[in-house]
Amino acid sequence: MRFAGAVLLVAAGAATALATVLLHLLWWGLALSIAATLATLWALPRGWLTRLPFALGWVALVAWMSPQRDEGDFVISSDSAGYALLGFSLVVVVVAVVTLPRPRWVRPGVDADAS
C-alpha cells in the first residue's frame, strides 16, 4: 500500500511540474507553481516513500522537458523565467534529500568508526 502511495506521489509531482513548465513564462504562473510545490513539499512528511517520490517526479518531468525539441526550439525558455525554473528544480531535489530521515542504524552519540 505504501508503494502505491509513492507511485501516486511521483505522478502528482510530475503533474505539478507539468503545470509549472506550462506556466513558467507568466510571472504569476511561475510564482504560483513555486508556492504550490513548496507547500506540497512542506506538507508531505519526510520519508523515502513520501516527500522524495514527489520531488523525483517533479524533477524528472522538468528534466524530460529541458532538451531541445526536434523543431529546434525549447519547452523551457532560455530567459530568467526558464533559468529560475531550472534552479528551482535543484532546490526541490536538495529539500527532498536533505530532509530524509536518518537511517535506523545511525544512533546519536555513537561514533561509527569506534569499534
What integer pLDDT is reported at residue 12 of this predicted model? Answer: 95
The mean pLDDT value of the chain amounts to 86
Q: Where are the alpha helices (DSSP H) in the chain?
A: 2-23, 27-43, 51-65, 80-98
Instruction: List the domain boundaries for the chain.
Output: 2-98
Stronger pLDDT, 75 or 9, i.e. the higher one: 9
Q: pTM surpassing 0.75?
A: yes
Contact assessment for residue 25 and residue 31, using Cβ atoms and an 8 Å cutoff: no
Q: Which of 76-80, 93-97, 101-105 has the lowest mean pLDDT?
A: 101-105
- Looking up cell 508531505 gives 44
